[in-house]
Amino acid sequence: MLYLIERAKKCLDFSATLYIIHLFICIIYGGWPSSITWWIVNGTGVAVMALLGEYLCIRRELREIPITRYRS
């Protein structure tokens, strides 16, 4: 996600969109997921994916920009 999104603001949107697509695929394949375990695992997955993605993107955005100076 760090290389695909590159912006911390977009991590939550990407994570939620990915899991919504996963929900639709699950509905098409096997019907509405009625297990509470499924919802807990996927809710935790969205949260971890969004938070870890934001952390990594913010860490990348806050790196110093290397500036090379040429002196004559």
pLDDT one digit per residue (tens) for the chain, 72 residues: 778 887 888 888 999 999 999 999 999 999 999 999 999 999 999 999 999 999 998 998 888 887 777 665
Q: Would 25 be classed as within a structural domain?
A: yes
Q: What is the DSSP letter of 32?
A: S
Q: Would 69 be classed as within a structural domain?
A: no
Range of the domain at 10: 1-62
Q: Would 42 be classed as within a structural domain?
A: yes
Q: Would 68 be classed as within a structural domain?
A: no
Q: Would 71 be classed as within a structural domain?
A: no
> In the prediction, which pLDDT does 8 show?
83
- Residue 26: Cβ-neighbour burial (10 angstroms; 0-12, 13-18, 19+): middle
> In the prediction, which pLDDT does 30 show?
92
What total number of domains does the chain contain? 1
Q: Would 72 be classed as within a structural domain?
A: no
